[in-house]
Amino acid sequence: MVNNTDLVSIIDPFVGEGVQTNSDFLKNMENLQFETSLRLGHFLQVFLEVINFLVYWRTVGFVGIVGFLIYLLFWRPYNRYRDLTELGYDEANTRQGGNNVARMNFINDMRKARKVGVATALYPNGWFVVMESRLLKKTEAKEANYFGKTFVVWRGSSGQAYIADGYCPHIGAHLGVMGLVKGDCIECPFHGWTFEGTGGTCVKIPYADPSSIPKSAKLKLHTSLEMNGFIFIWYHDKGLQPTWTPRRIPEVDNGRWKYRGRSEFRVSVHAQEIAENIADTGHFAKLHETSYLAGINFNNRMLDNIFDQEWKAGWYVSKEADRGHESFMEAAIIHKVFKRTILNTEFGTIGGSRDYDIFERPFWQVGLLFDGHTRRSL
């Protein structure tokens, strides 16, 4: 007969040899559940961090894309260029199949075939832009070709810009190609002859004594000035000095108005014709009847039923002292959609050959539009 004490003594040896009691088993299960919870919690934490990371960079990417589009629309300057192969000479499109080289040859043949009569002034007298100020850095020299001539434009260490004939009077090396700016002087890249910017006098020949430099060693300078973000050259067919200067725009000179882009077209036409076109307010209502909101398509008059614009313009002569050479145009464009006015744009123009257009909208001022025509060659 086995009593209770003997039973405990029989079971006890097995407990000591690895057999778990109920309490130990429950503890192990609790530990396992706790470890599983920790691992699951860690996994969920990592998963949530990955999701947050993706959401964060998705948001950053979206904001970045939107910011870049805003920059493109409102801050990045918009530059548009069109040359002779893109504008006019429509006959060349059908005859040359759109090939630019062949098209250019066709255009050159057409230009050579023109018979030009005797003219007293091949180019209008006045101030012409040869370069934008922002494109010419200190101690930098560049080539410029206008009026059938080659010029060198350089900016001295003082910041002053100068314009002179493009070829050295010594042997004819091109000063606009590899020419060096020393102080406010320009140095020829061929023999090192150095000419001052104020008068064009040769001040240095590396292999000659300064006292032996002939007075005839002189570079021809051209009357120039810099304002409104441009470098101007004065042209007169009889070589007369300037009798007037362009109007200075304070908002441009002080940096309040920034460069926002350009539309540049190279056309085969006399500069006077473009100036006369601007002064001809009578063609506005006919040729520009379709609003530019619908794009430029003169053949699609169906758009007139949707987009159209009404023009109002008039010219008057300046009454300011010493500004009698200026004329002013006040104009307004009334933009309509389905015959209802949606926008009224007002602008004023100073001059005809060199225009300064100030555009104003109902709630904000756009700023200034420079409209100029510089003749490169005949």
Q: Could you give the CA distance from residue 371 to residue 329 in angstroms, rounded to a whole number?
A: 14
CB 154 within 8 A of CB 186: yes
363-367 long-range contacts, CB within 8 A, separation 24+: 367/251, 367/257, 367/260
Give me the pLDDT at residue 311, please: 80
Name the band, by pLDDT with cuts 50, 70 and 90, for residue 54: confident
Coil/strand/helix, residue 161: strand
Name the band, by pLDDT with cuts 50, 70 and 90, for residue 221: very high
Exposed, middle or buried: residue 191 (CB in 10 Å: 0-12, 13-18, 19+)? Answer: middle
pLDDT tens sequence across 4-31: 444 444 334 444 444 445 566 555 655 6
Tell me the average pLDDT of the chain. Answer: 75
Give me the pLDDT at residue 296, please: 52
In terms of phi and psi (left: phi > 0; alpha: psi -120 to 50; beta: otherwise), the region of 367 is left
Which tops the pLDDT comparison, 37 or 312? 312
Give me the pLDDT at residue 268, please: 73
The position carrying tokens 């051209």 is 222
Tokens linked to 237: 């067919």
All residues at 6 or more sequence positions from 255 whose CB lies less than 8 Å from its CB, including other chains: none
pLDDT tens sequence across 108-164: 766 666 555 555 567 788 888 899 999 999 999 999 988 888 999 999 999 999 999
Q: Which of 254, 209, 266, 239 is nearest to 85 (CA)?
A: 266
| Averaged pLDDT for residues 334-350 | 73
CA distance to 78, 258, 295, per residue, from 74 (Å): 9, 12, 20
CA distance to 14, 325, 330, 351, per residue, from 313 (Å): 113, 20, 6, 14
Give me the pLDDT at residue 368, please: 55
Tokens linked to 219: 């570079």
Name the band, by pLDDT with cuts 50, 70 and 90, for residue 217: very high
DSSP 199: T
Give me the pLDDT at residue 108, please: 72
The position carrying tokens 């007969």 is 1
Q: Could you give the CA distance from residue 134 to residue 117 in angstroms, rounded to a whole number?
A: 39
Give me the pLDDT at residue 2, please: 44
Containing H/E element for 256?
Answer: none
Whether pLDDT at 73 is above 60: yes
The answer to which of 100-114, 139-153, 253-267 has the lowest mean pLDDT is: 100-114
Q: Could you give the CA distance from residue 19 to residue 164 in angstroms, rounded to a whole number?
A: 107
The answer to which of 30-44, 46-60, 70-84, 225-239 has the lowest mean pLDDT is: 30-44
pLDDT tens sequence across 277-299: 777 877 877 777 665 555 555 55
Tokens linked to 9: 């003594």
Give me the pLDDT at residue 118, please: 52
